[in-house]
Amino acid sequence: MGGGPSSSSGSTSTSSEGIPSECYKQAREEFDSRYLTPATFQIAYRDFQIIRPLGRGAFGSVKEVKYIRDPIPDYLQRTNSTDLTITSTRVALKIINKTSAHKMKQEEHVVNEKRILQALNFPFIIRFYFSFKDNANLYIGLELIEGGELFRHLRDSERFDEKKAKFYASQIILALEYLHLLGIVYRDLKPENLLIDRYGYIKMCDFGFAKKIDRGKAYTLCGTPEFLAPEIILGRGYNMGVDYWALGVLIFEMNAGYSPFWDADQQKIYHKIINAKFRPRSSFTDHLTDVVRGLLQKDLTKRLGMMFNGVNDIKKHPWFRDIDWLHIFLKKLRAPWIPDIRINNFPDAEDEEPARSSVNLHEKEFSDF
């Protein structure tokens, strides 16, 4: 988004919480035009050297790869904030096995993932470079994020102090605000899908469940059990509110070190969620407990983020009082933790050979990819 939010002191010609309305308009226009006419790319798997595995996806894998041809295409080059051209020959390649995605009836989700990702542009969302397909697989080339998953950092730290949890939460809130502005519901907020970049800031990845619903509703039961909002489980249709519920689960988990509705039995998880039954940790400050309660609110008309003032009710909540939203947006603050990127921060990822096929599999189902 162009200029981004301004500090709570306010500025002229702003719509809400200090964000110039021009920024909203511009972000939406840019997204809409890219979403309507997705770009295509002349590139193939053999143009890359495989460096290391990064992760395992539901229908394939993610690998660090290096582009080895000359000349380097312009979509691997970008200009940074100080007008320097950066060429990224090392990228993260998400490989999706067409047969697996087809078996799980995920064709539409995978097509959505690419169409949405290629149109987004936001500091806390993974950057898309290119996509292509071959007989067996679909491929998405993404900005390589070296710091590992928030999941791993949280597990290693057991839990975060409130200041650190708030630093991460604030970036996720800005990312959700941007997505919701575009009419997109994210549906898979969890620490595994949040990466930490070399500066210690968040990059949201995995748009496998993201969907453009605008003012409508979605009905599909998808996401991760502990993060599902009650209205998803109840199957009566849902909207952007599910992302704010998941944000409540995430803020709880970052501060407590465990999930609010955790149970070994999935049915019991659902039971606890439907009854919004959770107990804040005794160490939580009152403001933290209050923001979590506001987000984990069963009644959508009372859930933080879903009332008249929208996301501004979250941004202005006392727990976020010391957050300067513009400084966060512009990445002006030093992050509470900077990952060591000389080491492999994806040690649990397993290597996996991509599938091959001599015939073009499921060509029709994936024609829009």
Q: Which residues are catalytic?
A: 188
Q: How far is the CB of 116 from Mg ion (least distance, A)?
A: 15
From the centroid of its chain, how far is CA 87? 24
**How many whole angstroms separate alpha carbon 215 and alpha carbon 306?**
13
Of 23 and 176, which CB lies nearer to ligand ADP in the complex structure?
A: 176
Q: Which residue is nearest to Mg ion (CB)?
A: 206
DSSP H/E element including 91: strand 90-97
**How many whole angstroms separate alpha carbon 172 and alpha carbon 186?**
11
**How many whole angstroms separate alpha carbon 112 and alpha carbon 131?**
13
Number of residues that bind Mg ion (CB under 5 A): 2
Q: How far is CA 123 from CA 18, 171, 271, 288, 319, in A?
A: 18, 9, 37, 26, 23
**How many whole angstroms separate alpha carbon 56 and alpha carbon 74?**
28
93 phi, psi to nearest 5 deg: -110, 115
* Binding-site partner at residue 137 among ligand ADP, Mg ion, none, CB < 5 to 8 Å by type: none
193 binds Mg ion (CB under 5 A): yes
**How many whole angstroms separate alpha carbon 234 and alpha carbon 44?**
43
206 binds Mg ion (CB under 5 A): yes
259 binds Mg ion (CB under 5 A): no
314 binds ligand ADP (CB under 6 A): no
Q: How far is the CB of 129 from ligand ADP (least distance, A)?
A: 10
**Residues 125 to 184 in contact with ligand ADP, rule: CB under 6 A:** 126, 142-145, 149
Of 65 and 195, which CB lies nearer to Mg ion in the complex structure?
A: 195
55 binds ligand ADP (CB under 6 A): yes
* Binding-site partner at residue 195 among Mg ion, ligand ADP, none, CB < 5 to 8 Å by type: ligand ADP
Residues 6+ away with beta carbon under 8 Å from 248: 260, 291, 292, 294, 295, 296, 304
* Binding-site partner at residue 62 among ligand ADP, Mg ion, none, CB < 5 to 8 Å by type: ligand ADP
**How many whole angstroms separate alpha carbon 116 and alpha carbon 92?**
17
Residue with tokens 């947006």: 329
Selected from 50, 51, 58, 330, the binder of ligand ADP by CB under 6 A is 58
CB atoms within 10 A of CB 272: 16
CB atoms within 10 A of CB 321: 10
Of 143 and 231, which CB lies nearer to ligand ADP in the complex structure?
A: 143
17 binds ligand ADP (CB under 6 A): no
| Binding mask of the shown chain, residues 62 to 81, with x at each position contacting ligand ADP by CB under 6 A | x-------------------
Q: How far is the CB of 355 from Mg ion (least distance, A)?
A: 19
Residues that bind ligand ADP (CB under 6 A): 54-55, 57-58, 62, 92, 94, 126, 142-145, 149, 192-193, 195, 205-206, 208, 346
Residues that bind Mg ion (CB under 5 A): 193, 206
